[in-house]
Amino acid sequence: MSERLSTVASDLVERIEGASEAVLRQSTGKAAQYAVEQVGLRHEIASRALATLDDHEFGESEERRAVESLVNELDERAWDIQDQVEQAQATEEQYLATFTQARAASAIWFALDEDPRKAALEAVYEAYAATGDLARLRQLVSENVGDD
Amino acid sequence: MGVGVGRDGAGNTRTVVGTSEPNGYLRPGVSLNPGEELATGPGHAEASILDYMSRNSISP
């Protein structure tokens, strides 16, 4: 089985696999933060989870559980909007806005994983799904890998 | 999501996984086995798979 990230950027998988834990945590945090900023996710739960990420408190926590609930809530909302789009009662843009916010929240959730490698691979993939900006994510990861 | 199996001109079996989500998004826990190919696009996953097969000369 391959990583989800390898379906869009196998080079990033290689860089992540070869990076130290400190570098992975830094790259992952920046990727999640970037996704949140790009999609305009403004939610208290996301802010608290990002603060937890900044404090390097990884693994299960109240903040991580809350952000998981936020991901589920946003996904449910996106699917509802998608149904409305099919009935011409909502726009594709409204669906995409909610879908990408769900992915940004998911990037935070994965970034808080206690396994730094899994956190990086999955959070960067979710950040890509949120932003579609592989070039910027490559840059964020490379900047930090260069610090190794 | 959907999965399609076809055969190419060289007689090879080709497995195509389709997703209709933006940017070809795969849900957590979903990944591709070695050799599996990803078909993306708007609309239903099945249509993306058939379109991918058509563009790559794969017979469903």
- In terms of CA atoms, which chain B residue is nearest residue A123? B28
Tell me if A4 and B34 make a contact (CB, 8 A cut-off).
no
Residues of A in Cβ contact (< 8 Å) with B23: 8, 128-129, 132
pLDDT digits (tens, 9 = 90+) for A79-99: 999 999 989 999 999 999 999
Q: Give me the pLDDT at residue B42, please.
A: 79
Helix (H, G, I), strand (E, B) or coil at A137: helix
- Give this complex's ipTM: 0.89
CA distance A101 to A41: 6
How many of the other CB atoms lie within 10 Å of CB of A94? 16
From chain A, pick out residues whose CB is under 8 angstroms from the CB of B21. Answer: 99
Task: Say how many domains are in chain A.
Answer: 1
Query: Residue A97 sits in which domain range?
Result: 4-145
What's the gap between Cα A33 and its chain centre? 8
Query: For residue range B17-38, what is the model confidence (pLDDT) as tens digits?
Result: 999 899 889 999 988 888 899 9
Chain B positions in Cβ-Cβ contact with residue A128 (cut-off 8 Å): 23
Closest C-alpha to B17, from B42, B43, B53: B53
